[in-house]
Amino acid sequence: MQTVLITGANRGIGLEMVRQYLASGASVIACVRDTARAEALRALPHQDRLSIEQMDMADFASITSARARIGDRAIDIVINNAGVAGGAKQGIDDVDLDDWHATLNINTIAPLIVARSFKSNLAASGNGKLMNVTSQLAASTWPMGGMLIYSTTKAALSKVAQVLAIDWKNDPITVALMHPGWVKTDMGGPHAQLTVEESASGIRAVIESMGKADSGKFYKWNGEIHPW
Ligand SMILES: NC(=O)c1ccc[n+]([C@@H]2O[C@H](COP(=O)([O-])OP(=O)(O)OC[C@H]3O[C@@H](n4cnc5c(N)ncnc54)[C@H](OP(=O)(O)O)[C@@H]3O)[C@@H](O)[C@H]2O)c1
């Protein structure tokens, strides 16, 4: 049975990925910053294959604590999904520097801590896959100003993933990046193009199709390659 670990799993794209992986027969480790706000996870079918772990991406010790509780079991797929938009002040003249630092921790550094904490679990699967959910706003090819905090912290996440892909080239782990589309969630808003079902099923299909030769690739939810 496939084992999948997903961060930011209590709502949005993360919650839908949990729902779909459970429906597909997988065992899912759903990581949430506040287990008291995991009602939607607890209402899903297939609770026998779901475990809920506390993991706050702003608190790196909580990541290593979760790893200690989970132990050495093989994990086939880790999805670094948790992320934040970075607050209201993201212009050149008004950017909130405290929000920038806090968002760098959550969007960029925490995914690296997750990756290295669960590296041996991924390797133990023999064909581990680490998917990092970034954004088209991270791409140098995306012509959009403003959003300084979000775009720079996601661009840095993309570089983290590229470094992991290169430095883990001899490990049985595929590292990739995903733009999930513009999705109707709290972050994407009601006017976004995609439903969570469409985005999550596309992300799952890409992960399923990936092999070691794909390490370092930047995908869109529909399987196309996103230009860097
Ligand atoms: N929606 C889009 O259009 C879109 C587009 C491009 C990229 N993305 C990316 O896709 C991913 C999922 O986004 P979404 O649209 O599903 O967003 P969302 O609905 O706002 O959900 C964000 C998730 O991240 C979690 N999270 C935030 N801060 C956290 C922390 N410190 N520790 C642990 N979990 C934390 C949230 O948990 P809480 O409930 O505890 O806050 C929530 O589960 C993000 O990385 C986002 O940047 C989204």
Q: pLDDT by residue (tens digit) across 146-193?
A: 899 999 999 999 999 999 999 999 999 999 999 999 999 999 999 999
227 within domain boundaries: no
Residue nearest ligand 1's atom 45 by CA? 83
228 within domain boundaries: no
Compute the distance between CA of residue 223 and CA of residue 127 in angstroms, rounded to an integer.
Answer: 20
**Number of structural domains found in the chain:** 1
pTM given for the model: 0.98
Query: Residue 187: CB within 6 Å of ligand 1?
Result: yes
Residue nearest ligand 1's atom 42 by CA? 8
Mean pLDDT of the chain: 97
| CA-136 nearest atom, ligand 1 | 6
Kindly report the CATH number assigned to the domain that includes residue 94: 3.40.50.720
Compute the distance between CA of residue 112 and CA of residue 116 in angstroms, rounded to an integer.
Answer: 6
68 within domain boundaries: yes
Query: Residue 58: CB within 6 Å of ligand 1?
Result: yes
Query: Residue 186: CB within 6 Å of ligand 1?
Result: yes
Q: Which residues contact 49 (CB under 8 A, 6 or more apart)?
A: 1, 22, 25, 26, 27, 28
pLDDT digits (tens, 9 = 90+) for 192-220: 999 999 999 999 999 999 999 999 999 99
Which residues span the domain enclosing 145? 3-220
CA of 26 to the centre of ligand 1 (A): 22
On the question of pLDDT at 13 being above 90, the answer is yes
154 within domain boundaries: yes
225 within domain boundaries: no
Query: Residue 14: CB within 6 Å of ligand 1?
Result: yes
CA of 82 to the centre of ligand 1 (A): 5
| CA-11 nearest atom, ligand 1 | 43
Label residue 118 by pLDDT band (50, 70, 90): very high
98 within domain boundaries: yes
Query: Residue 220: CB within 6 Å of ligand 1?
Result: no
Label residue 138 by pLDDT band (50, 70, 90): very high
DSSP conformation letters of 117-154: HTHHHHHHHSSEEEEEE--GGGSTT----S-HHHHHHH
Residue to mutate (ligand 1; options 35, 84, 134; most atoms within 8 A of CB): 84
What does the DSSP 8-state code read for residue 49?
G
- The predicted pLDDT at position 163 comes to 98
Label residue 145 by pLDDT band (50, 70, 90): confident
Structural element, H or E, at residue 78: strand 77-80
